[in-house]
Amino acid sequence: MSQPRLHEQLISLFSERSSRDLKACLEHPDFTAFMREHDLQLPLEELVLAFTHTSFSHEYEVPHQELSEFFGDAVVQLIITAELMKRYPAEKEGRLSKLRSSIVNEKTLAQVASHIKLQEFILVGKGEFKKELYLQDTVLSDTFEALMAKIFKFHGLEFASAKLLTWLTNSAPEAFNLDKLDNFDSKSKLQEATLAKYKTLPRYSADILQEGFLVKLWVNDSLITEGVFPSKKTGERELARKVLENKDF
């Protein structure tokens, strides 16, 4: 009989709460397979620590990822900053800072994490598992940072940098494109404004038309503005810019 996948083993643990099932989760071969796939050589317990959410830690009294995440955030910041300096040595600090923020943020890091399927390895508590917490951007990005901390610790900066940049390029190929700053700025500024005013984020929808994309911008389930654009990204950027200029939200 084949070994159940990690999350299948978690379900068994939630049902039985046995030390045998806990050990099977913490030493699951899926973790070893992940290291083999990505050419990593880490102590198993250190890798598992990076994947252990606080909810699982509290239920089963095992160490969690928070300090690794704290350290990993600094590792990611350093690698991205160095790459930006390499790519744009003559660019202004302000624009590089904004571009770095567009990369080192919850959404982008969660995108990278999903690309390498970290969601399949995250250990969360029983209630959080039912809510699929392991699929949320916050948890994915935190886990990715914790993983980068472990890679840095056991493989060094050069290896960690190469691994991060490869994953980032494959999952978000436009990440280092300076042209995307306008899009990031207008959308992020609108997010900040709606969070401050309504405690909610704006929402975009897009329908394909013969002449392009009909993009709509919603706040609090109310349609604020819409327009037809050549791409969804362009539409979202332009609608956010328009709403910010007119302050009609």
**Are 52 and 63 in contact, with CB atoms under 8 Å apart?**
yes
Percent of the chain with pLDDT over 90: 72
Higher pLDDT, 229 or 155: 155
| Range 112-133 average pLDDT | 96
73 counts as catalytic: yes
Selected catalytic residue, list 83, 128, 145, 238:
145
- pLDDT of 35 strictly over 80: yes
- pLDDT of 162 strictly over 60: yes
Residues 6+ apart with CB under 8 A from 172: 103, 108, 111, 112
Percent of the chain with pLDDT over 70: 98
Binned at pLDDT 50, 70 and 90, residue 184 comes out as: low
93 counts as catalytic: no
| Range 44-52 average pLDDT | 98
- pTM score: 0.76
**Are 50 and 147 in contact, with CB atoms under 8 Å apart?**
yes
Binned at pLDDT 50, 70 and 90, residue 1 comes out as: very low
Binned at pLDDT 50, 70 and 90, residue 62 comes out as: very high
Residues 6+ apart with CB under 8 A from 189: 240, 244
pLDDT in tens, 165-182: 999 999 999 899 887 776
| Range 137-159 average pLDDT | 97
| Range 227-240 average pLDDT | 85
| Range 100-106 average pLDDT | 88
| Range 125-130 average pLDDT | 95
Whole-number pLDDT of residue 210: 81
| Range 73-83 average pLDDT | 97
Domains of the chain listed by start with CATH number: 6-176 (1.10.1520.10), 181-246 (3.30.160.20)
| Range 68-79 average pLDDT | 98
Whole-number pLDDT of residue 3: 73
pLDDT in tens, 136-147: 988 999 999 999
Selected catalytic residue, list 59, 69, 73, 83:
73
The pLDDT mean for the chain works out to: 92
| Range 28-49 average pLDDT | 97
